Amino acid sequence: MTNKILILPGDGIGQEVMIEVEKIIGWFNSNKDFNAEIEYGLVGGASYDADGVAISDATMQLAQKSDAVLFGAVGGPKWDDVAYEHRPEAGLLRLRKELDLFANLRPAICFSSLSDSSSLKKEIVEDLDILIVRELTGGVYFGEPRGIEELENGNRRGTNTQVYETWEIQRIAEVAFELARKRKNKVTSSEKRNVMESGLLWYEEVKKIHQEKYNDVELDHMLADNCGMQLVRWPKQFDVIVTDNLFGDMLSDVAAMLTGSLGMLPSASLGKAVNGLFESALYEPVHGSAPDISGQGIANPLASILSFSMALKYSFGRNKDSKLLEDSISKVLDDGSRTKDIADDGDFISTSEMGNKVIENLEILNKE
Ligand code: NAD
């Protein structure tokens, strides 16, 4: 059986870091019978330059047929003035919408050798491993009515609507519970049920599905403002946090910064799961196209490589290979190899050297 992967490098450092991901896939093909078949496509500004759109229908078809999409980053000053519907981010939004990627996963993992880079004390973040599951296709970012209107009294009114239906809450809660079962078996559901009816519905539906199908998993409910506080006070109390689109947007950024650098943060956007594996999925680093360093060969490829590690786990069911890759990255960092963004003392290696170091360590750990 072949594993079909679509690589969309995008713009700026997206193109540089995805070269390193391809090397890693090549290693798993040669050493672990991964059997990946890779296709390539354009997205973002690169696609706009070639086809006049942020992603073409042909590339969308490739995405529909693939088991996993590996996405680099899009955007840059060159495309700042293109029409709103063709801006680079529109490619990503189309992928999310048409592949129905409703669950956004953002792990916050703090490798012990990087725990000094966090803005929090070492003991608070060292060996942290939590996962934020954010609902991605509903809530206040999509609810109707919305807009800005002129009022007769001369004021203007801005409106957005926070709206969730039970099926939307149920399916994201199921993803969180399923993932928790493969981790430390704990879910914290976060909303504002004290002041929002949609939050009360969220609370009731998560509780209900827990009782019906997942009562082996520990479940906590925490108001979203308290959750923000607890994340910076004692983040290790969490395992999986499940929350809506708006609170997830903020809480996942807070959690991200616990771990130090943007160059280290992976993410996954997942659709429906069948037999524990996600049928449509997109994996991408949290960072953007970094025009300030693009073309210099100094971008950190680890966020993208860690995103591929998530693909190994969630799209291909290869938990051992995912662990091997994460252990190799951990060893590279323990040995002191750093790209510029995570180097404290000024000594750093290039993007491609970092990719090579990961492969060297895959070789070593694979023989042990
Ligand atoms: P950015 O994430 O591109 O960069 C922010 C800072 O972090 C920069 O100083 C950059 O050099 C650094 N950085 C980011 N990734 C790094 C890496 N892997 N290694 C080393 N340093 C890294 O955010 P920005 O500057 O706000 O945005 C730049 C462009 O990227 C914009 O066009 C924005 O719209 C776009 N963007 C795209 C995505 C995406 O594709 N999903 C996400 C965020 C921003």
Q: Which residues pair with 68 in a beta bridge?
A: 5
| 341 CA from centroid of ligand 1 (Å) | 12
Report, as residue numbers or ranges, the catalytic residues.
Answer: 141, 192, 225, 249, 253
Ligand 1 environment, Cβ below 6 A: 13, 73-76, 92, 262-263, 284, 287-293, 299-300, 303, 341
How would DSSP label each residue in 89-111? HHHHHHHHHHTT--EEEEEEE--
Token representation of residue 23: 């090397």
Mean pLDDT per block of 10 residues along the chain (368 residues) reads: 96 98 98 97 98 98 97 97 93 93 94 85 92 95 94 97 97 95 95 98 98 98 98 96 96 85 91 83 96 97 97 94 97 94 88 98 95
β-strands 68-73, 103-109 pairing: unpaired
User: Is residue 317 a part of any domain in this protein?
Assistant: yes
User: Is residue 346 a part of any domain in this protein?
Assistant: yes
* Same structural domain, 4 and 78: yes
Q: Which of 257, 281, 307 is the last residue of a domain?
A: 257
Asked whether 220 and 186 are in contact (CB, 8 A), the reply is yes
Give the residue numbers spanning the domain of 167. Answer: 129-257
* Same structural domain, 246 and 270: no
pLDDT attached to residue 155 = 98
Asked whether 212 and 205 are in contact (CB, 8 A), the reply is no
Please count the structural domains in the chain: 2
Q: Which of 257, 283, 302 is the last residue of a domain?
A: 257
| 73 CA from centroid of ligand 1 (Å) | 8
| 75 CA from centroid of ligand 1 (Å) | 9
* Same structural domain, 36 and 82: yes
Token representation of residue 182: 């493969």
* Same structural domain, 66 and 143: no
Q: Which residues pair with 78 in a beta bridge?
A: none
Closest CA to ligand 1's atom 12:
290
User: Is residue 114 a part of any domain in this protein?
Assistant: no
Q: Which residues contact 226 (CB under 8 A, 6 or more apart)?
A: none
Ligand 1 atom nearest to 299, measured from its CA: 19
Cα distance between residue 169 and residue 87, in whole Å: 30
Sort 289 into a burial class: Cβ within 10 Å, 0-12 / 13-18 / 19+: buried
* Same structural domain, 243 and 290: no
* Same structural domain, 190 and 168: yes
| 85 CA from centroid of ligand 1 (Å) | 21
* Same structural domain, 178 and 223: yes
* Same structural domain, 135 and 238: yes
User: Is residue 115 a part of any domain in this protein?
Assistant: no
User: Is residue 117 a part of any domain in this protein?
Assistant: no
Which domain CATH number covers 275? 3.40.718.10
Query: What is the best residue among 16, 106, 287 to mutate for testing ligand 1's pocket, by most ligand atoms within 8 Å of CB?
Result: 287
pTM over 0.85: yes
* Same structural domain, 235 and 207: yes
* Same structural domain, 133 and 246: yes
Ligand 1 atom nearest to 80, measured from its CA: 32
Q: At what angle do helices 89-98 and 57-65 cross, to 10 degrees?
A: 40
User: Is residue 273 a part of any domain in this protein?
Assistant: yes
User: Is residue 59 a part of any domain in this protein?
Assistant: yes
Q: Which of 204, 239, 257 is the last residue of a domain?
A: 257
Q: Which residues pair with 189 in a beta bridge?
A: 221, 242
User: Is residue 181 a part of any domain in this protein?
Assistant: yes
Query: What is the best residue among 11, 48, 249, 262 to mutate for testing ligand 1's pocket, by most ligand atoms within 8 Å of CB?
Result: 262
* Same structural domain, 153 and 220: yes
* Same structural domain, 225 and 283: no
Among all chains, which residue has been given the structure tokens 């750990």?
A: 365
Asked whether 20 and 354 are in contact (CB, 8 A), the reply is yes
Ligand 1 atom nearest to 300, measured from its CA: 19
Note if the bond before 291 is cis, omega within 30 degrees.
Answer: no
Token representation of residue 322: 């995912």
Phi/psi for 300 (5° steps) reads -80, 120
Query: What is the best residue among 286, 289, 294, 354 to mutate for testing ligand 1's pocket, by most ligand atoms within 8 Å of CB?
Result: 289
Cα distance between residue 152 and residue 225, in whole Å: 36
pLDDT attached to residue 257 = 82
